[in-house]
Amino acid sequence: MIDREAVEESLYFRHACKRFDTKRKIPDEDRRFILEAGRLAPSSFGMEPWRFLVIRNEEIQAELRPHCWDQPQIIECSDLIIILAQITAPANPAYYSEMFRRRGLPEEATRAYIERYEHYIGKLHSIQGWVSRQCYIAADHMMITAAQIGVDSCPIEGFVSRKVDKVLGIDRKKERSVLLLPLGYRVQGPRPKLRRPFEEVVTILE
């Protein structure tokens, strides 16, 4: 375990980085380390309804930028992670049955899980909304891990998913971009943290 001071330091280090140093590239092992943190993120029923597409190509980044509110991070970052929400796999019996079977539980317990799962997803308003929320958890795992190893990031929701997916040749019947995560190194230090007071945000009932 790491000590509190180090954790706190990384929480303050992480900020929504607006300008990346275009001359600095993330080492391969750091990229892998950050993506691994995304892979290890928790997901509802363990469905892991995500895929991480990493763009490290200036031409593609330039093509994407106009569909991302023209934000400079898209072209200035070292690596642009596109977080894709899997919208059909979690409703596919072959997929979700295997995700339960891999737990190696007795057949009866596996069947009970599958039944509970089918009941649960049958009541969801939107599979896309449900899987997107989980993708955001994976994104936070990556942002926090990146900060812990001195890599900057910026979560980006300001983009037109349909257009980004078109540029990237994404099959939107299967998956859709829900969040972009540029990674790299800051040009300037972060602005002071603006947050509502602890007492306003937290209520403890004892």
Ligand X SMILES: Cc1cc2nc3c(=O)[nH]c(=O)nc-3n(C[C@H](O)[C@H](O)[C@H](O)COP(=O)(O)O)c2cc1C
Instruction: Decide if residue 75 touches ligand X (CB under 6 A).
Output: no
Please name the residues in contact with 199: beta carbons below 8 A apart, sequence gap of 6 or more.
none
Cα 97 from Cα 102, distance rounded (Å): 9
Q: Is 15 in the site for ligand X (CB under 6 A)?
A: yes
**Site for ligand X (CB under 6 A): which residue of 43, 71, 97, 128?**
71
Would you list the DSSP string of 65-122?
GGGTTT-THHHHSSEEEEEEEESSGGG-HHHHHHHHHTT---HHHHHHHHHHHHHHHH
Question: How many other CB atoms are there within 10 angstroms of residue 176's CB atom?
Answer: 21
Which of 123, 125, 173, 193 binds ligand X (CB under 6 A)? It is 193
Contact stretch for ligand X (CB under 6 A) within 12-20, 25-33, 46-54, 85-93:
12-20
x/- map, 147-166, ligand X, by CB under 6 A: -------xxxxx--------
Q: Is 8 in the site for ligand X (CB under 6 A)?
A: no
Q: How far is the CB of 10 from ligand X (least distance, A)?
A: 13
Give residues in contact with ligand X (CB under 6 A): 15-16, 18, 71, 154-158, 190, 193
